[in-house]
Amino acid sequence: MTFTEFRPLDEKHLTEYIKATPALSGKVGNSFDDLKIKEVGDGNLNFVYIVVSPAGSLVIKQALPYVRCIGESWPMTKERAYFEALALREHGRLCPENVPEVYHFDRTMSLIGMRYLEPPHIILRKGLIAGIEYPLLAEHISSYMAKTLYHTSLLYRTTTEHKRDVAEFCGNVELCRLTEQVVFSDPYKASQYNRWTSPYLDRDAEAVREDNILKLEVAELKSKFCERAQALVHGDLHTGSVMVTHESTQVIDPEFAFYGPMGFDIGAFIGNLILAFYAQDGHADQGNDRKTYKEWILRTIKETWNLFYKKFTALWDEHKDGSGEAYLPGIYNNPELRQLVQKKFMQDLFHDTLGFGAAKMIRRLVGVAHVEDFESITDSSKRAKCERQALDLAKMLLKERRKFQSIDEVLSSILQQQ
């Protein structure tokens, strides 16, 4: 059997495919009798197979030409796998500690072979729901974001490199359009796909659709998303795109990658931690009131931003005489000015982060795709109470983001509201 044309794989054909592909068959020790294959895709879009043999393991991810959770009625280019592979490789090169290795990519088959993130790795969102602390999470994710965002921006690259890569990732337009729709548009209008915890949040969802100031602000963020090619962003960096153990943090699933605003990634991650925070009251029980855990989440939010700030500016300082074309050494190499420039850059980025983070929160509360953090709260009145708090905070953040000077002030707002 050859695979010269696209076809959706099943477990039988998957074995054939691995046999025929040296880069993959080597990973399972070239023995195919004891292969265990399991489809585990719990995501919204694609099929993911875990392949394990006594000699080794790997993961196969395949994109089909539609949105998995909706079906063939919502077509979506399978070329997204190409951009996912490109981003995995680029981010993996920049931050190998936190990105699974790509063993193989097949554009015809829209298929990626990559490292299996073996147990006890679990999806971070599930760990957050279970109330598990990850002491190294902020340290790791801040490194990942600082390294990937810094090195793909004009702080590090030349205009020539930048425009070449921007042009390439313009090809991932269908995925960008999907984000535009579900993050920046649908929540702010009547849409058949929107959902919320009804009837409790009916008025809240309506209020979002009628809030002129909110719509004004979300338009500014959308225009940054569509127009500002600041760095190669992951594009979908929520807590369901991160797998963790106590020692390891791995970022998967960058199929939405493109050159966009850095704050979109940082905001996605922080916004989803804030969602996890607000969901905790719904998971509290007699054995665990989740109070300590909520404090850990807030601490992790704070450390994520502060460590990102530190690492990003450290990279900037380190490469200040490098070939990055944004701030040429001949102009900006005086310490006072560099500090001034960095402070302004980081403050703008902070405000973008809060804005995009808030927009990502809102869309998970009144848009098409919700998060398990809340969905797993079975008592819907309890769930609605948690969700409303999250929504109120997000709306305030989106509108008032420019007033915040530090992440501490954001945490204070959250605590005051409790």
Ligand X SMILES: Nc1ncnc2c1ncn2[C@@H]1O[C@H](COP(=O)(O)OP(=O)(O)O)[C@@H](O)[C@H]1O
Query: Which one of 16, 23, 39, 41 is in contact with ligand X (CB under 6 A)?
Result: 41
In the complex, least distance from residue 255 CB atom to ligand X, rounded to whole angstroms:
6
Nearest CB to its own copies, comparing residues 152 and 304: 152
Q: Taking CB under 8 A as the rule, does residue 402 contact its own copies?
A: no
Determine contact, residues 145/231, Cβ cutoff 8 Å.
Answer: no
| 59 near ligand X, judged by CB under 6 A | yes
CA distance 139 to 112: 28
List the interface residues with ligand X, window 72-101 (CB under 6 A).
100
Residue 278 tokens, joined? 């607000």
CA distance 358 to 356: 5
Distances 416 to 124, 326, 361, 413 between C-alpha atoms, Å: 27, 40, 19, 5
Binding mask 44-73 for Mg ion (x = CB under 5 A): -x----------------------------
- Please report whether residue 154 would count as binding its own copies according to CB under 8 A: yes
Q: Which residue has its beta carbon closest to ligand X? A: 43
Task: Return the closest-CA partner of residue 93 out of 52, 22, 144.
Answer: 144
- Pick the binder of ligand X from 48, 64, 94, 146 (CB under 6 A): 48
| CA triple 213-214-216, angle to 5 deg | 60
- Compose the 247-286 pattern: x for residues touching ligand X by CB under 6 A, - for all others: -----xx-x-------------------------------
Among 21, 24, 25, 43, binds ligand X (CB under 6 A): 43
CA angle 213, 261, 392 (to 5 degrees): 35
In sequence order, the 6+-apart residues with CB closer than 8 A to the CB of 398 are 214, 217, 218, 221, 354, 355, 358, 359, 362
Q: Which is nearer to its own copies, 38 or 343 (CB)?
A: 343
Least CB distance to ligand X at residue 292 (A) = 27
CA distance 364 to 379: 18
Q: Max Cα separation, the chain? A: 65
Q: How many residues touch its own copies (CB under 8 A)?
A: 45
Q: Which of 331, 378, 381, 416 binds its own copies (CB under 8 A)?
A: 331
> Binding to its own copies (CB under 8 A): which residues in 158-187?
159-160, 162-164, 166-168, 170-171, 173, 176-177, 180, 185
Three-class SS of residue 104?
strand
Q: Which does 116 bind (CB under 5 to 8 A by kind): its own copies, ligand X, Mg ion, none?
A: ligand X
| Residue 198 tokens, joined | 């009804």
Kindly state whether residue 220 participates in binding its own copies, applying the rule CB under 8 A.
yes
Is 326 one of the binding residues for its own copies (CB under 8 A)? yes
DSSP annotation of 100: P
